[in-house]
Structure 1
Amino acid sequence: MISVLFAVLTALSNGSASVLQRRAALTVPDSEAMRLSLIGRLVRQKVWLAGIGLVIVAAVCQAVALATGPIAVVQPIFVIELPATLLIAGFVMRVKVTRPVWYGVAAVTLGLALAMAAADPAGGSDDVRGAAWIPALVATGAFEAALIAGALGTRGNPRAALLGLAAACGYALTAALMKDAMARLDSDGAVGLLTAWQLYATAAAGVGALFLLQNALQAGSLVAVQPMLTLGDALISVLYGVTLFGEELRAGWWLLPQLAGLALIAVGCVVLSRSPLATAGPPPGTR
């Protein structure tokens, strides 16, 4: 229950951060894409710094959630970040929340509940055994490289979507590394945590994912980024949970309600993508 509560708090914090970061990214010209100067421009904006503050809050909540629950339970809950982001955007951007938006929010929420109840993630270890990280890191690096290469070959929303998925992969990796690092804290105390390579890899992966997300938000609309970010994070995290931590999901006929839940989430994302909230810019006088 504690892990679920802190996972929800993480999703709400990240959703709020995405809105603030998107608002700041709208002021950055296309010429700064995929350059460190992009961060230099953003760091001078208070609204972006406020978003980073919420990212830090989310990271703390996520660490608590991962330390108290399976990654296959914690990360999929972040799917609610999408409807939360758009509802928060409606408030910040002063755009009316219409009935279809509420339908989309309901579809995503119910789909998540159905998929999670049917999958019932359980078991697994708190840490990664042996050299299992080696093939996982190689596969992740290759996938990220392919996404970034594809993004560099396009513009607009397609680039935003590819970079959003790359950021999702980075955040899922960050979560897996964080969970493994927190296991060292439980078993070996503070010294074990500070001497674990996973702790520093967590920081590196998190910074890389944040950089990709800023470029995704700068490249296209929020709706192109957020579904790829939230759904990609959830699905890739479940894959890490099963392959690295040995967590188990229900199989057999349980796959049917799981697929139905994913379908509801997908429908909800499509409905939300048609909302003015998805493409709303900042209110007059803020750019």
Structure 2
Amino acid sequence: MDGDMLIAVPAAVLGAAGFGLATAAQQRATHEVEEAPTLSPRLIGHLLKRPMWLLGLLATIIALLMQLLALAFGAIAVVQPLLVTGVVFAAAFSSLMSRRRPDPLILFGALLCAAGIAAFLLLARPVPSATDEHLDFWGGMPLGIGLAAVVVGSIAFSAVVRHPVRVLALALATGVMYGVTAGLMKVITGQLRVGLLEPFQHLTLYAVCILGPIGFLLSQNTFQQGRMVSPAVAVITSVDPVVAVLIGVSWLGERLDYSPALLAWQCVAAAVVVAGIAFITLRGTRLLHELDQESAAAGHGRPDVAPG
């Protein structure tokens, strides 16, 4: 088990760095093209012509490979919290691309989210199941229906409400899709240990081929509609591991510790995550206001993308 963690932990951190670079690059690229309706494939067609977006795509592929490697050697509830550090990397890369120093308070809020999620899941003391190449989909049907309702409701909310908060709704839907994809990818890694052709004999692989691109397209809509990357990434990377762990418990048979004392501390950890997201959002709003004032004083238009 210790040897497995020596592979899973570094791979997860490298995956987080890759996702951080990808989100920063993709956010800049999405603001260089015409805004597209949510889930419109036309957006990808426009983005394929942007070198910055292609850099983000390459980083995404590398990050996914690292995530697969981490999931092959570690439980979802251990691997996914490490991916939350992607919000720190995203804020840092976004600032570097804007040729500005990373905002310390944004980084603090990002670390707050990462610490809260890590504590929340580690307190649960996850125990992986004996087999992870099969999922109990019918037993987890209530969870599937609930997650689908969240995704549809979030997309509908973002279409109706024109307030900037709609970006966080899209981020919520993206996080759910990413979490579901991560849970299914865990199943595929278990099937690969049986044989290279084993995944092709199950529906899981084909579900990933459908849900994965939908989640990716949602993320591009999220980045395009938000001026700062950190608030959206904080929501995505916080929701993703929670959903993945719920799938691990409901569909894969992983077990969590539900003692009253630990549940109380998990509530505290969850509150820290919410506080971190709120802190990043409020600080981001303040930074956007200051940046707009600077641009107006210099006689420039409002920038579409802000660092952090």
1:1-287 equivalences under 5 Å are 1=5, 2-30=7-35, 32-124=37-129, 125-126=131-132, 127-129=134-136, 131-132=138-139, 134-187=141-194, 189-221=195-227, 222-251=229-258, 252-273=260-281, 274-275=283-284
- Percent identical pairs in the alignment equals 29
Q: Are 1:89 and 1:277, in contact at CA under 8 Å, matched by a contact in 2?
A: no
Segment drifting more, 42-51 vs 137-146: 137-146
Q: Take 2:197 and 2:89, find their aligned partners in 1: how far apart are those partners? A: 38
Q: Take 1:28 and 1:36, find their aligned partners in 2: how far apart are those partners? A: 13
Q: Are 1:81 and 1:230, in contact at CA under 8 Å, matched by a contact in 2?
A: yes
Deviation at 1:47, TM superposition (A): 0.5
CA RMSD of aligned residues (A): 2.6
Q: Take 2:90 and 2:187, find their aligned partners in 1: how far apart are those partners? A: 28
Deviation at 1:202, TM superposition (A): 1.0
Segment drifting more, 57-66 vs 28-37: 28-37
Closer, same or farther in 2 for the Cα pair 1:278/1:7, shift >3 Å? farther
Segment drifting more, 214-223 vs 130-139: 130-139
Closer, same or farther in 2 for the Cα pair 1:33/1:191, shift >3 Å? closer
Deviation at 1:44, TM superposition (A): 0.5
Unaligned residue ranges in structure 2 (runs of 5+): 292-302
Q: Are 2:176 and 2:239, in contact at CA under 8 Å, matched by a contact in 1?
A: yes
Map Cα deviations across residues 199-237 of structure 1 (whole Å, 9 max, x no partner). Answer: 121121110001111111111232442122111112211
Closer, same or farther in 2 for the Cα pair 1:97/1:106, shift >3 Å? same
Q: Are 1:181 and 1:198, in contact at CA under 8 Å, matched by a contact in 2?
A: yes
Q: Take 2:148 and 2:34, find their aligned partners in 1: how far apart are those partners? A: 28
Closer, same or farther in 2 for the Cα pair 1:246/1:9, shift >3 Å? same
Closer, same or farther in 2 for the Cα pair 1:98/1:216, shift >3 Å? closer
Return the TM-score normalized by structure 1.
Answer: 0.88
Q: Are 1:94 and 1:283, in contact at CA under 8 Å, matched by a contact in 2?
A: no
Q: How many residues align?
A: 283
Q: Take 1:141 and 1:82, find their aligned partners in 2: how far apart are those partners? A: 25
Q: Are 1:223 and 1:278, in contact at CA under 8 Å, matched by a contact in 2?
A: no
| 2:255 match: secondary structure | coil
Bigger helix fraction: 1
Q: Take 1:263 and 1:10, find their aligned partners in 2: how far apart are those partners? A: 26
Unaligned residue ranges in structure 1 (runs of 5+): none
Q: Take 2:154 and 2:80, find their aligned partners in 1: how far apart are those partners? A: 21
| 1:257 match: secondary structure | helix
Q: Which has the higher contact order (CA 8 A, sep 6+)?
A: 1
Closer, same or farther in 2 for the Cα pair 1:183/1:98, shift >3 Å? closer
Return the TM-score normalized by structure 2.
Answer: 0.82
Map Cα deviations across residues 38-73 of structure 1 (whole Å, 9 max, x no partner). Answer: 111111101001101111111111111112122122
